[in-house]
Amino acid sequence: MFCFQCEQTAKGTGCEKGGVCGKPPEVAVLQDLLVHALKGYSGTVLAARRMGLDDSGAGPFTVRALFATLTNVNFDPARIAALVRECAARRDALREKILGAGGTPPEGKAFSFAPADTMEGLVRQGEEVGIPTAASLDLNIRSLRELLTYGLKGVAAYADNARILGREDDAVYGFCHDGLAATLDESLGVPDLLGLVLKCGEINLRAMEILDAAHTETYGHPVPTRVPLGTRPGKAILVSGHDLKDIEEILRLSAGKGIDVYTHGEMLPAHGYPGLKKYPHLYGHYGTAWQNQHREFAAFPGAILMTTNCIQKPREEYADRIFTTGAVGWPGIPHLDRESFSAVIDKALSLPGFTEETGEKSVTVGFGRNAVLSVAGAVLEAVKAGKIRHFFLVGGCDGARPGRSYYTEFVEKAPADTVILTLACGKFRFFDRELGDIGGIPRLLDVGQCNDAYSAVKIAQALAEAFGVGVNELPLSLVLSWYEQKAVAILLTLLHLGIRNIRLGPSLPAFVSPGVLDVLVKDFGLMPITTAEADLAAILN
Ligand code: SF4
Ligand code: SF3
């Protein structure tokens, strides 16, 4: 196996003997085979599209399957193998259609390989189609192909979440096929691939836009909401991940049963949505970010549902009370569709739950674009009066590396006349800090999940318009943390929007070659984080 798609990759170069994430070599190569199959399928979809042939559900399937290969999503070899087989069957059906209509389907391994009958055979096939070694391919081409593939994985995750809430866009699906097929196209050079990478950022903005519409039209615009961080006596369910439809279903099924529902990780922003906060048993937030789940899930005395990333290998202490749904999977852990969530309710009822009240702390969530822009006038006045000197967007993923304490330090050391917008799970390093307010405007504004980067972009664009300047001229700096491929897609979106001087950490992606990095630095001013003090000084001076 060789995998270097996430920030915690072994030695900062690549996982070769098993993933730092817990992905065994067998699953890693099956995922390689699935990505390979999806590339061949995408090329076939493009050929069918050119002939005006119906590709019957290619878009939804592609994003669902690609999502399964994102970091910390699906570790179940049987489900990855099933997706490989489905992908090849769909591709072959489409090839037949093309032939039947007098066309010529594309040729090559990815377009015609037959999945082996056994798991061992599939693993062998996967070993042959992994990421090429540096020696066998131009490093910059490899880097851009992988950057495009990982960006597409992020797009797929958001498009799949939006699809679940009934929002789809053929332009998003179409580009997933264009992009995946392009990674097989030997004729594409660095400039072509760079163009596709930025196009991926544009499409990701659209994917986040339809997801934002799906969330706000289904559950209303988030409103500032106090969320307890403690617990109260009663049976309990913990919902982690990003999928609001799943927590809604859990809330609906558990209503009136004496069960409290707690959010974990990226589910925290659920509390701000009117359509979800109307359930009085959506009680509080338990724990922090994904990398602390072993400790936090083990201590949670109720049922646990993982809706999307990031799952880690379940520990024995809670393996009998955790469930997965949607794209997520772990072998041996019950995987439920939404129709069978009653199993989660039954499990919660069979467990002791919390016996006492704990903790008095709380945090405020719900500062999406609607809430922030409703006070845009006051923000503008505060900036003009010199009360707000600068805005920081300190957002992105969390992870286990010690270098991530930079973000906590950055927020703690940011001067009192600065405002911090945050989003995604990286915020758990500072989300409960009392930073006070500036004339009633809280200094720490939680915009939401990682996909709510869309909301942050809208806020920045509206502020730029109000000031009559471009986003790059605003007193705003982006200090981002990345871990998995949704963050890659968001970074590409920001680059597509022409946003410059982004600081990125805790380390730069291993899959970005020196040549590609050079372009990102020269054309976009992208820079690595250094120390909180030095970066604050550089920005504010
Ligand atoms: Fe390693 Fe990350 Fe790949 Fe897991 S997803 S195998 S940790 S690079
Ligand atoms: Fe976090 Fe996995 Fe990226 Fe949604 S939950 S941001 S890492």
User: Among the CATH numbers 3.20.190.10, 3.40.190.10, 3.40.50.2030, 3.40.50.10540, which is that of 225-350?
Assistant: 3.40.50.2030
The type of residue at 27 is: V
What is the distance in A from the centroid of ligand 2 to the CA of 484?
7
Residues 300-306, mean pLDDT to the nearest whole number: 98
The verdict on the CB of residue 72 being under 6 Å from ligand 1 is no
The type of residue at 493 is: T
Is the pLDDT confidence value at 477 over 90?
Answer: yes
Query: Which are the contacts of 57, defined by CB distance < 8 A and separation ≥ 6?
Result: none
State the closest ligand 1 atom to the C-alpha of 1, by its place in the atom list counted from 1: 6
The verdict on the CB of residue 243 being under 6 Å from ligand 2 is no
Is the pLDDT confidence value at 123 over 90?
Answer: yes
Q: How far apart (Å, rounded) are the C-alpha atoms in residues 26 and 451?
A: 30
Give the DSSP H or E segment for 377.
helix 376-384
Residues 67-87, mean pLDDT to the nearest whole number: 98
Q: Which two tokens stand for residue 347?
A: 């499990």
Q: How far apart (Å, rounded) are the C-alpha atoms in residues 126 and 123?
A: 5
**Model confidence pLDDT, tens digit, residues 417-473:** 999 999 999 999 999 999 999 999 999 999 999 999 999 999 999 999 999 999 999
101: number of Cβ within 10 Å = 11
CATH of domain 10-217: 1.20.1270.20
Atom 3 of ligand 1, nearest CA residue: 3
The verdict on the CB of residue 449 being under 6 Å from ligand 2 is yes
State the closest ligand 2 atom to the C-alpha of 71, by its place in the atom list counted from 1: 2
Atom 6 of ligand 1, nearest CA residue: 19
Q: How far apart (Å, rounded) are the C-alpha atoms in residues 435 and 134?
A: 47
DSSP 287-321: S--GGGHHHHHHH--SEEEE-SS---PPPTTTTTS
Of the candidates 308, 295, 293, 263, the residue with the CA atom closest to the CA atom of residue 73: 308
By the 8 A CB rule, do 355 and 233 touch? Answer: yes
Q: Which two tokens stand for residue 77?
A: 């070899």
Ligand 1 mutation pick, 9, 16, 75, max ligand atoms within 8 A of CB: 9
368-540, CATH topology level: Rossmann fold (3.40.50)
Handedness of CA 117, 119, 120, 126 (dihedral sign): positive
Burial 225-240 (b: 16+ CB within 10 A, else e): bebbbbbbeebbbbbb
> What are residue 391's DSSP bridge partners?
419, 476
What is the distance in A from the centroid of ligand 2 to the CA of 51?
40
The verdict on the CB of residue 309 being under 6 Å from ligand 1 is no
Q: Where are any strands of DSSP class E within 112-258?
A: 225-228, 235-240
**Model confidence pLDDT, tens digit, residues 248-264:** 999 999 999 999 999 99
Of the candidates 114, 97, 112, 85, the residue with the CA atom closest to the CA atom of residue 56: 97
State the closest ligand 2 atom to the C-alpha of 450, by its place in the atom list counted from 1: 4
Q: Which two tokens stand for residue 443?
A: 């200094």
What is the distance in A from the centroid of ligand 2 to the CA of 125?
31
Q: Residue 120 burial by CB count (10 A; 0-12/13-18/19+): exposed, middle or buried?
A: exposed
Residues 275-299, mean pLDDT to the nearest whole number: 98
What is the distance in A from the centroid of ligand 1 to the CA of 72?
8
Is the pLDDT confidence value at 92 over 80?
Answer: yes
By the 8 A CB rule, do 284 and 262 touch? Answer: yes
> What are residue 260's DSSP bridge partners?
236
The verdict on the CB of residue 21 being under 6 Å from ligand 1 is yes
Q: Where in the chain is the domain with CATH 1.20.1270.20?
A: 10-217
What is the distance in A from the centroid of ligand 1 to the CA of 8?
7
The verdict on the CB of residue 424 being under 6 Å from ligand 2 is yes
Give the N- to C-terminal CA distance of the chain in Å, as an integer: 46
Q: Residue 64 burial by CB count (10 A; 0-12/13-18/19+): exposed, middle or buried?
A: buried
State the closest ligand 2 atom to the C-alpha of 399, by its place in the atom list counted from 1: 7
The verdict on the CB of residue 153 being under 6 Å from ligand 1 is no
Q: Where in the chain is the domain with CATH 3.40.50.2030?
A: 225-350, 368-540
What is the distance in A from the centroid of ligand 2 to the CA of 104?
42
State the closest ligand 2 atom to the C-alpha of 486, by its place in the atom list counted from 1: 3
> Is the peptide bond prior to 506 cis by the omega test (within 30 degrees of 0)?
yes
Q: How many CA atoms lie within 13 A of 371 on its CB side?
A: 23
- The ligand minimizing its distance to the Cα of 131 is 1
State the closest ligand 1 atom to the C-alpha of 20, by its place in the atom list counted from 1: 7
The verdict on the CB of residue 487 being under 6 Å from ligand 2 is yes
DSSP 42-76: HHHHHHHHHTT---SSHHHHHHHHHHTTSTTTB--
What percent of the chain clears pLDDT 70, i.e. is strictly above it? Answer: 100
Q: How far apart (Å, rounded) are the C-alpha atoms in residues 478 and 436?
A: 21
What is the distance in A from the centroid of ligand 1 to the CA of 341?
30
At residue 233, the pLDDT reads 98
**Model confidence pLDDT, tens digit, residues 136-180:** 789 999 999 999 999 999 999 999 999 999 999 999 999 999 999
State the closest ligand 2 atom to the C-alpha of 308, by its place in the atom list counted from 1: 5
Is the pLDDT confidence value at 485 over 90?
Answer: yes
The verdict on the CB of residue 448 being under 6 Å from ligand 1 is no
pTM of the model: 0.98
State the closest ligand 1 atom to the C-alpha of 22, by its place in the atom list counted from 1: 4
374: number of Cβ within 10 Å = 11
The verdict on the CB of residue 3 being under 6 Å from ligand 1 is yes
Residues 505-524, mean pLDDT to the nearest whole number: 97
Query: Which are the contacts of 96, defined by CB distance < 8 A and separation ≥ 6?
Result: none
The verdict on the CB of residue 310 being under 6 Å from ligand 2 is yes
Atom 5 of ligand 1, nearest CA residue: 71
Q: How far is CA 40 from CA 34, 181, 274, in A?
A: 10, 7, 43
- The ligand minimizing its distance to the Cα of 18 is 1
What is the distance in A from the centroid of ligand 2 to the CA of 222?
20
The verdict on the CB of residue 15 being under 6 Å from ligand 1 is yes
Mean pLDDT value across the chain: 97
Q: Which two tokens stand for residue 154?
A: 């992020």
Of the candidates 196, 184, 29, 51, the residue with the CA atom closest to the CA atom of residue 119: 29
Is the pLDDT confidence value at 272 over 80?
Answer: yes
Largest CA distance in the chain: 71
The verdict on the CB of residue 383 being under 6 Å from ligand 2 is no
Q: Where are any strands of DSSP class E within 389-525?
A: 390-396, 418-423, 437-438, 441-442, 444-448, 476-481, 503-505
What is the distance in A from the centroid of ligand 1 to the CA of 304?
24
**Model confidence pLDDT, tens digit, residues 214-228:** 999 999 999 999 999
At residue 6, the pLDDT reads 98
Q: Which two tokens stand for residue 47?
A: 């050929």
At residue 134, the pLDDT reads 62
What is the distance in A from the centroid of ligand 1 to the CA of 4?
6
What is the distance in A from the centroid of ligand 1 to the CA of 433?
31
Ligand 1 mutation pick, 20, 150, 153, 330, max ligand atoms within 8 A of CB: 20
